[in-house]
Amino acid sequence: MLAKDKYINPLTDFGFKKLFGTEPNKDLLIDFLNQLLPKNNRVKKLKYTQNEHLGNGSLDRKAIFDLYCENEKGEKFIVEMQKAKQNYFKDRSVYYSSFPIREQAKRGEWNYQLSDIFTIGVLDFIFDDSQSKNFISTVKLKDQDCKVFYEKLTFIYLELPKFKKEESQLKSKFDKWIFVLKHLANLQDRPAFLKEKVFKKLFESAEIAKFNPQEQQQYEQSLKYYRDIKNVTDTAKEEGMIEGKAKGIIEGKAEGIIEGKAEGIIEGKAEGIIEGKKAVIRTGLKEGTSIDLLSKLTGLSKEVIEKIKKDDTI
């Protein structure tokens, strides 16, 4: 952790749960949710519920949510913070939403009436197939005429990299919330335009100097994991661009010197990516991240991850 950091990064696992997943800070989550939700679904009271859910049978796959809560009307909210692109993330969102659906089933006579369910993804990346410049997407189940078929199941995705507004462009409280999520870790003081009481509390809760030694250690580990993942994804993007350029050089030029340089660039970058992925895996294993998730994040097979785990214990 850098000495100059005054506030936690809310996009780390520890930071996100510290600010939004604790009883003393429940009002922060309520305020944030109410910027996203339709008026008739606004939250007055909220309770956290169990974030680990098992399937119906012992062999069924389980789901572990970052945050799972319920309001005074019985409406369910899954809130996920996703640091990097993951294969089938949308599929995972749909799968996760099936748990609060199934848990509403009642024994004996039941008319199948369900409470509203919201799955909210705070994403530190952009969907590959995302064509919209809008940083927020609200998705419902629709029919062939694009009319909403079912009102009670809603997916909300916030693609943070698309949010480009500067301080002078912030028009709403929602804009301010997204600005804070993106820039909190880089601030040294609470900006004057964040005068609302909820932001005052958020900045007080996010101040690293106020953490006890255990919390500081947990945050440092979480921040390292976040940076490792960001490094791998950023390196992969850069490597992809360099590979494309190198391929163009190889295909367009026949001279051995240029081919050799291009090959060296590719091999060097590839080796760097592998080492970066290993660092993510080692940190993730220490944090208790599942091998399945590490495989999806790094693109390495479960067998390779098992080998890295085994080698590190020798």
State how far the Cα of 5 lies from the Cα of 187, in Å rounded to an integer. 8
Residue 152, token pair as written in the block? 């009670």
Write out pLDDT tens, residues 232-249.
777 766 655 545 554 454
Write out pLDDT tens, residues 146-205.
999 999 999 999 999 999 999 999 999 999 999 999 999 999 999 999 999 999 999 999
| 128 DSSP 8-state letter | T
pLDDT at 58 over 80: no
* Residue 120 near residue 77, CB atoms below 8 Å: yes
The total of other beta-carbon atoms located within 10 Å of residue 68's CB is 22
**Average pLDDT for the chain:** 83
State how far the Cα of 26 lies from the Cα of 20, in Å rounded to an integer. 6
**H helices present in 37-67, as ranges:** none
Write out pLDDT tens, residues 96-148.
999 999 999 998 899 999 999 999 999 999 887 777 889 999 999 999 999 99
